[in-house]
Structure 1
Amino acid sequence: MNPIFKRAAAAVAVAATLVLAGCTSWFGPPPVHTSSPTDESVSAELEPFYTQVLEWEPCGDGFGCTTAIAPLDWDDPAAGETELALVRHVATGDRIGSLLVNPGGPGGSGYDFVLDTLDYAVGERLQQRFDVVGFDPRGVGRSAGVTCYDAEGMDEFLYGIPEGERNSDEWFDDMAARQTAFGDACEQGTGALLAQVDTVSAARDLDLLRAVLGDEQLHYLGYSYGTFLGATYADLYPEKVGRLVLDGALDPEADYTEVSAAQYAGFEQSLRAYLENCLTGSECPFTGSVDAAMGEIGDLLASVDASPLRGTDGRFVGAGTLITAIIYPLYSPDAWGYLDDLFTSVQFGDADFALTLADAYNGRNADGTYADNSSEAFYAVNCLDYLPLDTLEAIHASADEIIAAAPIIGPYTVGPACAGWPVASEAVREPLHAEGADPILVVGTTGDPATPYQWAVNLSEQLDSGVLVTYDGEGHTAYNKSNRCVADAVENYLIDGVVPSADPKC
């Protein structure tokens, strides 16, 4: 499995796994109503995009859906167009404006997030005051999407066992070859869009959506990767920042190795928290101390790495797939019980439950198809947002840093990143300041395994107007997860524009 930090992509907890349902028929019933774009001062090339009128069609129960058109290449708006899919739940009370929501990824569908789990995406108070708008960023889901492999190819890419001894030059070469072939398939299947799915382009799309939805400023709730998208928007358009909440922050300054090392260290911290809880019960698959149990997990990973387990469908569980299965329930303490079943089954040589968890994480259906293109979009966006790790010297140096930070998980997560990707990255990892923007709320969870708390601290300090809200707890992201302190801080800010005078330390 490619090690690039895919396992931190999920923005929602396992307990709220999305049901990916279809919604839209663009033809048929009369429009729900149109959206009147704002009167924007933009270049002549951009004017047709900023003045377009959205026609909303009914979809789902109480939702409207539409498609917006954006420039394919924001630096050359005349070069072509791309489509952006949106879904909207209209405010039930005194309307403030639109609230755009992004669940993370990159590759997560904001469309499905809002349509299928509205109450999880935003609380009732926000539903009353805002039109809640989910959107699929460029390259994702129902928007014009990244396309790479068929289902069989994705199985081999995500679950296949590379040749050679793990972390040897031969192994790294095979991993790089697999990534190069994947990138070539993405280029063939996606075309010119593949070069335009970077986060800066998606942030420019956000400004377009703000305008065509009729809002003078952007109100936005971004989870996980969605915090990077929101911070990028704020840095590009500080004068257009309305009320932005960034929950489960990424550090814009961190490079690939720094991100990976911090995330895998975070997952090990959460794995230890799971074990501390597990060892107090009578059905825990481990006994003794947390350190001893961590050692047993390390031995289990080494065992399946040397001799992968075969599932009833013929696929294998090697160490990479087992890491995915372990990490998925760590996103939420409510899902830790799945780890009991996982470790017990693998200890008895059963691969099927590990495959079930890994499939849930990767969006693979029981019939072998994939629910969406989230994995493909994830790689495509990250391979533009981060510089590649594609020489043996750089790979080994990165591996040493990651393994030092996460000695149990780390050895099974390292390798080349974006090797042979067909579109060269020009990314620069640097702080984002958004000078002149109104206050921006940054929410961080002390026990977040996927986006470590320090990143929220870092982002709140980088942003000139950043305001930190700390949640002392476990799990990925904090808003709308039954903590009234966090909910009040977020909702009072979004509704009334009031930021805490000091970190409430919820």
Structure 2
Amino acid sequence: MHIRRALRPNSSRGPRPRTPLRAARAGGTLLAAAALLVSACTPGTTQRRTEPAADAALAALPRATPPILSPYYEQKPAWRSCGVPGFECTTLKAPLDYDRPAAGDVRLAVARKKASGPGKRLGSLLLNPGGPGGSAVAYLQQYAGVGYPAEISARYDLVAMDPRGVSRSEAVQCLDDRDMDTYTQTDFTPDDGKETDALVAAYRKFAEGCGARAARLLRHVSTAEAARDMDILRAVLGDGKLNYVGASYGTFLGATYAGLFPDRVGRLVLDGAMDPSLSARQMNLDQTAGFEEAFKSFAKDCVQQSDCPLGGRGATPKQVGDQLAAFFRKLDARSIPTGDAGGRRLGESLATIGVIAAMYDQSAWPQLRSALASAMKKNDGSTLLALSDSYYERDSGGHYSNLMYANAAVNCLDLPAPFAGPEQVEESLPAFEKASPVFGRGLAWNTLNCAYWPVQPTGRPHRIEAKGAAPIVVVGTTRDPATPYRWAQSLSRQLSSARLLTYDGDGHTAYRRGSRCIDSEINTYLLRGTPPTNGKRCS
């Protein structure tokens, strides 16, 4: 199953200092979520699709709100201080099952920072940083509430809601922290039947834990249900239209909202777009190719630096990749110390996640060079372990957020599993290794987790057209390691009112990443309602 990661909460769009790469994103354990990976391809990359795109389009819901849902739409929020100066919080209710509203409710955590003025208030602007599993409330309080452009926060109430199953809302839980430590260290590049059995056992234990600890929620954490929750929030906030900025997985959530409620679309920005028409298998192949492209960019930069541990000037990306692959094989045979209080050592799995974490933002490349140098030359895996921990949202006390659990729960519900068992993964290895000689094998095996999920998927690949919606801005970055540029191109062709805005650059997502052109186009759209010219390119 694929991993979908969200944008990072920091003012420069580079890594935050908590751990080298703390992300408010979606991410996921490669094991847990399969691969939160969503990758990038350069504009000229042509990788043949192995499966056709979906023909079915998401159908809009009736315009009139069903009377049975009226109590949810008519809630009166009780706003209160939530411990962070300038922010207030509340809790809403939504039906656990929209087909059977009488079956019970799910609690949803909401936070906002009211418009500061001056200027005419434009309503609410809902933010989602991605995932699935990223906490929107934490993103708002830790970054967006202070890092968004002053002209935006002056005129919009900035609002965040943790989707069902996530963080401060009613949350999915699967494993205790000790078991999660064991899980993240499982070898996800099995070399023989014994190691394959161990990997399958890890997936089964993870899935069984989710089924036991989150039985009530597990069938009702789909993206479509989360999008319907957003419409309840829109009404409760008193907005006739939904204004929204979503990144990474947040683009799938926002596009789904547009498909279900096209007449309620206000100003929507979908940054680092996903393609809802793809199967899980195709999505993972695309992501794998994207991480390879991101690694090539890193490799080209690395060999120009004096501290590159993977080769000197003149070395090709293939040679750099061969060096890294050899290092991974060495760790697969023998892990190295990290100084971790719990005794964790750096093996191939944790090291791979550490490298992948740094692919999301080129400002992390110097740290990755340092981490690899320490591990390869000094037998010290501490910095790569810190990168991996930031990806998994494991804090210094050894506690994991529910990011990985929500990530797997939503992914496995939204799409059928790409493979039914190890034999099918084995058959797919040549395709994945062709897509990425460095990461392909591991990412192929990471598609297997949903095969053992305790509930059946409710979603299928589909196109989203949102006919009748106001203009929607779809943003793609040409060398995005988390959401391939081709996905933005595809989504912009599906949405009837889309305007494609392209950032020619590296890194995951484009808004607030340093491009004045991108920021100006999006800010103008949010403030004036004037979308970019379709096909506009920025650098």
TM-score, L = length of structure 1: 0.91
Residues 432-476 of structure 1, C-alpha deviation per residue, up to 9 Å, x if partnerless?
111111111000111111101111111101111111000011110
Alpha carbons of 1:345 and 1:305: their partners in 2 closer, same or farther (altered >3 Å)?
same
2:252 to 228, 241, 261: 228
Tell me the residue number matched to 1:98.
Answer: 124
Indicate yes or no: 2:105 matched with 1:81: yes
1:53 to 76, 79, 84: 76
Residue 244 of structure 1: how far off its partner (Å): 0.6
Tell me the residue number matched to 2:15.
Answer: 15
Tell me the residue number matched to 1:328.
Answer: 357
Indicate yes or no: 2:2 matched with 1:5: yes
Residue 157 of structure 1: how far off its partner (Å): 1.3
| 54-63 or 287-296: bigger deviation | 287-296
- Matched pairs, number: 480
| 326-335 or 173-182: bigger deviation | 173-182
Indicate yes or no: 2:510 matched with 1:481: no
Residue 297 of structure 1: how far off its partner (Å): 0.9
Tell me the residue number matched to 2:319.
Answer: 292
Residues 195-221 of structure 1, C-alpha deviation per residue, up to 9 Å, x if partnerless?
100101101111111111111111110
Residues 189-247 of structure 1, C-alpha deviation per residue, up to 9 Å, x if partnerless?
11211110010110111111111111111111000000000111111111111111000
Mapped partners of 1:176, 1:384: distance in 2: 19
Indicate yes or no: 2:156 matched with 1:127: no
Mapped partners of 1:120, 1:104: distance in 2: 19
| 389-398 or 82-91: bigger deviation | 389-398
What amino acid is the match of 2:320?
A
Residues 164-189 of structure 1, C-alpha deviation per residue, up to 9 Å, x if partnerless?
x7254543333222212211111211
Mapped partners of 1:229, 1:47: distance in 2: 23
Mapped partners of 1:144, 1:138: distance in 2: 6
Alignment partner of 2:452: what SS? Answer: coil
Tell me the residue number matched to 1:303.
Answer: 330
Indicate yes or no: 2:329 matched with 1:312: no
Indicate yes or no: 2:300 matched with 1:270: no
Alpha carbons of 1:397 and 1:417: their partners in 2 closer, same or farther (altered >3 Å)?
farther
Mapped partners of 1:120, 1:332: distance in 2: 21
Alignment partner of 2:93: what SS? Answer: strand
Maintained 8 Å contact 1:120/1:480: no
Maintained 8 Å contact 1:105/1:226: yes
Residue 121 of structure 1: how far off its partner (Å): 5.9
What amino acid is the match of 1:502?
N
After superposition, where does 1:361-376 map in structure 2 within 5 Å? Answer: 361-370=391-400, 372-376=401-405
Residues 345-398 of structure 1, C-alpha deviation per residue, up to 9 Å, x if partnerless?
22132222211110111111112112x211111111111012122223432233
Alignment partner of 1:87: what SS? Answer: strand
Mapped partners of 1:481, 1:180: distance in 2: 39
Indicate yes or no: 2:408 matched with 1:379: yes
Mapped partners of 2:155, 2:428: distance in 1: 47
Unpaired runs of 5+ residues, structure 1, are: 21-39
Pick 1 or 2: higher relative contact order, CA cutoff 8 A, min separation 6: 2
Alpha carbons of 1:181 and 1:343: their partners in 2 closer, same or farther (altered >3 Å)?
same
Maintained 8 Å contact 1:11/1:225: no
Alpha carbons of 1:169 and 1:390: their partners in 2 closer, same or farther (altered >3 Å)?
farther
Alignment partner of 2:68: what SS? Answer: coil
Alignment partner of 1:112: what SS? Answer: helix
After superposition, where does 1:463-502 map in structure 2 within 5 Å? Answer: 463-502=495-534
Tell me the residue number matched to 1:347.
Answer: 376
Tell me the residue number matched to 2:168.
Answer: 142
Alpha carbons of 1:424 and 1:167: their partners in 2 closer, same or farther (altered >3 Å)?
farther
Alignment partner of 1:15: what SS? Answer: coil
Alignment partner of 1:210: what SS? Answer: helix
Mapped partners of 2:278, 2:191: distance in 1: 24
Unpaired runs of 5+ residues, structure 2, are: 25-62
After superposition, where does 1:368-447 map in structure 2 within 5 Å? Answer: 368-370=398-400, 372-388=401-417, 389-415=419-445, 416-447=448-479
Alpha carbons of 1:136 and 1:18: their partners in 2 closer, same or farther (altered >3 Å)?
farther
Maintained 8 Å contact 1:390/1:417: no
Mapped partners of 1:95, 1:218: distance in 2: 14
What is the percentage of aligned positions where both structures have the same residue? 39
Residue 102 of structure 1: how far off its partner (Å): 0.4
Residue 19 of structure 1: how far off its partner (Å): 8.8
TM-score, L = length of structure 2: 0.86
Alpha carbons of 1:257 and 1:41: their partners in 2 closer, same or farther (altered >3 Å)?
closer
**Cα RMSD, aligned residues only:** 1.8
Alpha carbons of 1:107 and 1:476: their partners in 2 closer, same or farther (altered >3 Å)?
same
Residue 419 of structure 1: how far off its partner (Å): 2.4
Residues 299-354 of structure 1, C-alpha deviation per residue, up to 9 Å, x if partnerless?
11122122232433322322221111001111111111111112102213222221
